[in-house]
Chains A and B, each alone.
Chain A
Amino acid sequence: MVYMNWIIALIIFILTYAVLFTERIDRTIVTLAGAVSVLLAGIVLGFYSQHEAFLAIDFDTIALVLGMMVMVGTVERTGLIEYMAIYIAKKTGGKIWLLLVGLGAFTAIASAFMDNVTTMVLVAPTTLSITDLLGLSPIPFLISESMLSIVGGLSTLIGAPPNIMIGSAADLGFNQFIAHLGPIALTVWFVSIIYFWFKFKNTLPDEANQREALEEMDPSRTVESWNDFRKAIAVIAIVIGLYLLHGFIGLEPPTVAFIGAVLALTLIRPDVQETLSDVEWSVIFFYSSLFVLVGGLEQTGMIQQIALGFGQIAENYPVLAPVALIWFAGVLSGIIDNVPLTIALIPVIHSLGSIHGIHLNSYWWALALGAVLGGISSPVGSSANVITVSLSERTETPITFTKWIKVGLPLTLVNLTLASLFLFFGMRLGLM
């Protein structure tokens, strides 16, 4: 009874995503329950097995995320990131726009190599102390940093979870992401900066009052051990190098991430227990359970059918369909977390690959663009935003939902349009 499998799996799937959306129950528990339910249903009805469930988990993604979490966790303890943020702030000499641009650029670049959340966790408090010192409102800085961290994360394979998952599913390498999405991210970054200038020019002065206070800030205070600091830089340099060359050496990105983690652990020698407890296991769980859940849906054969349906549209509108995907993913990404969104859409796009005449890579880039850029629009669109907002709530000027949307929504529309143009012309020119 194939249809029974479909119905039951679909019900479990929809139920899980619905409860996720309401945020009533801890998301780790919800997804675990969904995964276990679909597995049990599959065992009883015969469409899923324990082994298949474990294999449904994209271990490349998990390994990459895990390896990076350990490496980043170790590196962040050396105080490297705060040091650089303060250093850049001092270099701007109190000119506000330079400060905004400088911190925005730093956040974007850092976020291209570390996950957005960690970037914001490290940069936001430093930003708060800088704005405090200079007597400025932190809101423009926090908002622009969070949004620019998302833009920065778009440009590399490791910069954002959707990219990691797409890279693994589509077998796209580190350099391919930079080549295809890098230019778009860069353009979006510039446009966003200009947008912020328009948005914030009335609320920010030209120069800070207490410039001297900025001179007093000592970046080296964040560094406990200069030895570890230098080692951290070495580890990051080696890992970035490995990522750039991974295609030539024949190493997969997750292996590079693991090498980075092992390097960081053996060189910097932090307490292993502590570092491992710093890893956000609930995130690993969350991703794994989602993979198992969607895997169950795949096993029923349902996804292939849906893909076949879309295949018709895709065949008839080969250039517009991917562009439509940018908007579809972009809009949803502002509402639900881009990770469940991406995990659910990946098998659909995968199945499109079996329909000939479809240039699959365009769809992968479209998904990445939509899923990542869409996250800018609302405070819940990306975990980085959530962190930023909750940090702002500790200050006198918390960022409200409306405040965010007013800045984020228009910018997202602009960015998605830019992305669509890039994809459209890119496809026409055979570049994407």
Chain B
Amino acid sequence: MSLELIFSTVIFLGTYVAILTDKVERSLAAISGAVLMVVTGLYFGFYTETEVITEAIDWNTIGLLLGMMMVVGVLKDSGLFETLAIWAAKLARGDYFRMILLFGFLAAIMSTTIDNVTTILLVAPISMSISAVLGIDPKPILLTQALFSNVGGVATLVGDPPNIMISSAGGFQYLDYIYNLAPTVLICTLVSVVLFKIAFADKAEEENDKINEEALAGIMDRKATQEVANWTLLKKGLFGLSFIIILFVLHSVVAITPATVALSGATLILLMTRPDMDELLDRVEWTTLLFFAGLFVVVHGVVNTGLLTKISQGVLHVTSGNLLFSALAILFLSALGSGLVDNIPFTAAMLPIVATLSTKLTGGSSDILWWALAFGAGFGGNATYIGSSANVMIVKISEDHEEPISMRYWLKYGTLTTLITTIIAGLVIALQIITPVQLPLLPS
């Protein structure tokens, strides 16, 4: 047990505990941990300052997040999201379950392109005010938005932070996610819908009786497009967004890496809309970006001292090198870990481990272990209300409006969702590994 291993592990654990307990602002915790790790590394000789920049920090992830944050920052003023929310409400035609479903789907679809927290921030408040006007209980509606946005976000490269981080570490492209993960996500969503229909059947009947008919008529009369604050902005913003998605899809033709795509799209939108840069840059979550940077530096430190290699070897030992066992272990452990700890720091620590395991167990011929991580980290976020930033946001919004979602309430539905979705993912992965032929539409 070398001294440097001990020191680096202590700093690593200390940082993660500080982040978990929320005593200190998480970006401060991550950066402080990073500075400590680097200074210690310089002293013991396991880290150099250049390494921090060239190897430790994943600029692709940071650049991608930055680009998308700028795009969303511009789009926020257009009224696009308010329009979509009203449209969803109208489509529900006053049926409680349909409302749950439609807002859930809206959150899921938006979440495939925009990050979960922003999605919640844009859609949830509107769903709250509509519920208030109609006199119905918003909790199931809010909850479903969080759950579905977490599930939906697993389907694309940009859908949730773990996927972005995995793409850099494993070298995956936008379409890889669509081919390998999206079909399973779709299955999981449909199964969840059936699940919720059963779970909320009584509640739906109860709420349907409570709906304020007059208010409902008022909503039905509203034109969704009235919410559009700025049509030019909306059109330009959507143009830019489409540009980004097209560039992503065309990756096989012109190898433009994700961060460049996002930043190019953002630049295009900026040139077209000329917003106030100081205001826009204020909307970028710099604390989040610093948080990521700090985490990357800390994790790279324990990579250098061999802590994560030791853990990988431990896992190999326990699973005796069996691919199926390892894949399922990663899947369920990630789901558990991601439920307890925020999925970003969890994934950051898992990346080097999965990288080693993937090479050792498959020789690079299969990416199944990465997909197991993606499913686990993504779906696991639903298990508890601290499992994902989107969850925390939904609970906060629910508390602001005096309809707090309690931990028990969450455990009832959220944990169930995680269980079901993770089991489905497990079955899919097992199927893929066991059958001799590569099945289409399944992760490989």
Task: Evaluate contact between A36 and B264: CB separation under 8 angstroms.
Answer: yes
Beyond contacts A258-B35, A277-B282: 6 other A-B pairs, Cβ-Cβ < 8 A, are A25-B271, A25-B274, A43-B260, A251-B42, A265-B28, A279-B286
- Is B245 part of the contact surface with A, judged by Cβ < 8 Å? no
- What is the CA–CA distance of A54 and B276 in the complex, to the nearest angstrom? 25
- Is B110 part of the contact surface with A, judged by Cβ < 8 Å? no
- What is the CA–CA distance of A58 and B263 in the complex, to the nearest angstrom? 19
Q: Which residues of B contact A282 (CB under 8 A)?
A: 277-278, 281
Task: Evaluate contact between B35 and A250: CB separation under 8 angstroms.
Answer: no
Q: Which residues of B contact A220 (CB under 8 A)?
A: none
Give the residue name and chain of the A residue nearest to B54 (CB). Answer: A55
- What is the CA–CA distance of A20 and B278 in the complex, to the nearest angstrom? 17
Give the residue name and chain of the A residue nearest to B43 (CB). Answer: A250
Task: Evaluate contact between B42 and A250: CB separation under 8 angstroms.
Answer: yes
Q: How large is the interface on B (under 10, 10 to 19, 20 to 34, 35 or more residues)?
A: 35 or more
Give the residue name and chain of the B residue nearest to A286 (CB). Answer: B277
**Which positions 4-50 of chain A face chain B at CB distance < 8 Å?**
25-26, 28-29, 32-33, 36, 39-40, 43-44, 49-50
Q: Write the nearest CB–CB distance from B54 to chain A, whole angstroms.
A: 6
Beyond A255-B39, A262-B35, A281-B284, is A44–B271 a contact (Cβ under 8 Å)? no
**Which positions 210-257 of chain A face chain B at CB distance < 8 Å?**
250-252, 254-255
- What is the CA–CA distance of A138 and B108 in the complex, to the nearest angstrom? 60
Task: Evaluate contact between A43 and B35: CB separation under 8 angstroms.
Answer: no
- Is A285 part of the contact surface with B, judged by Cβ < 8 Å? yes
- What is the CA–CA distance of A44 and B247 in the complex, to the nearest angstrom? 13
Q: Which residues of A contact B287 (CB under 8 A)?
A: 272-273, 276
Give the residue name and chain of the B residue nearest to A62 (CB). Answer: B53
**Which positions 253-268 of chain B face chain A at CB distance < 8 Å?**
254-257, 259-260, 263-264, 266-267
Q: Which residues of B contact A273 (CB under 8 A)?
A: 25, 287
- CB-defined A-B contacts under 8 Å, sample of 10: A29-B267, A29-B270, A33-B267, A43-B256, A43-B260, A44-B254, A50-B257, A51-B257, A54-B63, A255-B39
**Which positions 382-419 of chain A face chain B at CB distance < 8 Å?**
none
**Which positions 262-304 of chain B face chain A at CB distance < 8 Å?**
263-264, 266-267, 270-271, 274, 276-278, 281-282, 284, 286-287, 290
Instruction: Tell me what chain A mostly uses at the interface: helix, strand, loop, or mixed.
Output: helix
Q: Which residues of A contact B32 (CB under 8 A)?
A: 262, 266
- Is B356 part of the contact surface with A, judged by Cβ < 8 Å? no
- Is A59 part of the contact surface with B, judged by Cβ < 8 Å? yes
Which 3 residue pairs are nearest across A and B when measured between Cβ atoms? A54-B59, A272-B25, A50-B257
Give the residue name and chain of the A residue nearest to B264 (CB). Answer: A36
- Is A345 part of the contact surface with B, judged by Cβ < 8 Å? no
- What is the CA–CA distance of A54 and B270 in the complex, to the nearest angstrom? 20
Give the residue name and chain of the A residue nearest to B42 (CB). Answer: A250
**Which positions 281-308 of chain A face chain B at CB distance < 8 Å?**
281-282, 285
Task: Evaluate contact between B286 and A28: CB separation under 8 angstroms.
Answer: no
Q: Which residues of B contact A193 (CB under 8 A)?
A: none
Q: Kindly name the residue among B31, B53, B257, B271 whose own CB sees the greatest number of chain A CB atoms within 10 A.
A: B53
Residues of A in contact, count (CB < 8 Å): 36
- Is B38 part of the contact surface with A, judged by Cβ < 8 Å? yes
- Is A259 part of the contact surface with B, judged by Cβ < 8 Å? yes
Q: Which residues of B contact A28 (CB under 8 A)?
A: 277, 281
Give the residue name and chain of the A residue nearest to B255 (CB). Answer: A43
Beyond A25-B274, A28-B277, A272-B25, is A281–B286 a contact (Cβ under 8 Å)? yes
- Is B60 part of the contact surface with A, judged by Cβ < 8 Å? yes
Q: Write the nearest CB–CB distance from A306 to chain B, whole angstroms.
A: 27
Q: Which residues of B contact A285 (CB under 8 A)?
A: 277, 281
The residue that A259 contacts in the complex, of B35, B59, B259, with Cβ under 8 A, is B35
**Which positions 257-272 of chain A face chain B at CB distance < 8 Å?**
258-259, 262, 265-266, 272
The residue that B259 contacts in the complex, of A32, A33, A50, A281, with Cβ under 8 A, is A50
Q: Which residues of B contact A25 (CB under 8 A)?
A: 271, 274
Beyond A276-B287, A281-B286, is A32–B281 a contact (Cβ under 8 Å)? no
The residue that B256 contacts in the complex, of A40, A251, A266, with Cβ under 8 A, is A40
Q: Which residues of A contact B422 (CB under 8 A)?
A: none
Task: Evaluate contact between B49 and A255: CB separation under 8 angstroms.
Answer: yes
Q: Kindly name the residue among A40, A55, A279 whose own CB sees the greatest number of chain B CB atoms within 10 A.
A: A40
Taking beta carbons and an 8 Å cutoff, which residues of B are in contact with A? Answer: 25, 27-28, 31-32, 35, 38-39, 42, 49, 53-54, 59-60, 63, 254-257, 259-260, 263-264, 266-267, 270-271, 274, 276-278, 281-282, 284, 286-287, 290
Q: Which residues of A contact B276 (CB under 8 A)?
A: 26
Instruction: Tell me what chain B mostly uses at the interface: helix, strand, loop, or mixed.
Output: helix
- What is the CA–CA distance of A258 and B30 in the complex, to the nearest angstrom? 13
Q: Kindly name the residue among B49, B257, B260, B276 whose own CB sees the greatest number of chain A CB atoms within 10 A.
A: B260
Q: Which residues of B contact A33 (CB under 8 A)?
A: 267, 270-271
Q: Which residues of B contact A265 (CB under 8 A)?
A: 28
Q: Which residues of A contact B60 (CB under 8 A)?
A: 50
Q: Which residues of A contact B274 (CB under 8 A)?
A: 25-26, 29
Q: Write the nearest CB–CB distance from A121 to chain B, whole angstroms.
A: 15
Q: Write the nearest CB–CB distance from A295 to chain B, whole angstroms.
A: 13
Q: Write the nearest CB–CB distance from A238 to chain B, whole angstroms.
A: 14
Task: Evaluate contact between B53 and A55: CB separation under 8 angstroms.
Answer: yes
Q: Write the nearest CB–CB distance from A426 to chain B, whole angstroms.
A: 31
Beyond A259-B35, A276-B287, is A26–B267 a contact (Cβ under 8 Å)? no
Q: Write the nearest CB–CB distance from A93 to chain B, whole angstroms.
A: 42
Beyond A255-B39, A281-B281, is A50–B286 a contact (Cβ under 8 Å)? no
Q: Kindly name the residue among B27, B38, B277 whose own CB sees the greatest number of chain A CB atoms within 10 A.
A: B277
Q: Which residues of B contact A51 (CB under 8 A)?
A: 59, 257
- What is the CA–CA distance of A51 and B58 in the complex, to the nearest angstrom? 10
Q: Which residues of B contact A40 (CB under 8 A)?
A: 256, 260, 264
Q: Which residues of A contact B59 (CB under 8 A)?
A: 50-51, 54
- What is the CA–CA distance of A273 and B283 in the complex, to the nearest angstrom? 12
Q: Which residues of B contact A36 (CB under 8 A)?
A: 260, 263-264, 267
Q: Which residues of B contact A277 (CB under 8 A)?
A: 282, 286
- What is the CA–CA distance of A50 and B63 in the complex, to the nearest angstrom? 10
- What is the CA–CA distance of A397 and B103 in the complex, to the nearest angstrom? 59
Q: Write the nearest CB–CB distance from B41 to chain A, whole angstroms.
A: 11
- What is the CA–CA distance of A59 and B53 in the complex, to the nearest angstrom? 7
Task: Evaluate contact between A39 and B28: CB separation under 8 angstroms.
Answer: no
Q: Write the nearest CB–CB distance from A33 to chain B, whole angstroms.
A: 5
Q: Write the nearest CB–CB distance from B159 to chain A, whole angstroms.
A: 21
Q: Write the nearest CB–CB distance from B64 to chain A, whole angstroms.
A: 10
Q: Kindly name the residue among A32, A250, A252, A254 whose own CB sees the greatest number of chain B CB atoms within 10 A.
A: A32
Q: Which residues of B contact A259 (CB under 8 A)?
A: 35, 39
- What is the CA–CA distance of A21 and B112 in the complex, to the nearest angstrom? 40
- What is the CA–CA distance of A28 and B290 in the complex, to the nearest angstrom? 20
Q: Write the nearest CB–CB distance from B423 to chain A, whole angstroms.
A: 38
The residue that A39 contacts in the complex, of B31, B49, B260, B290, with Cβ under 8 A, is B260
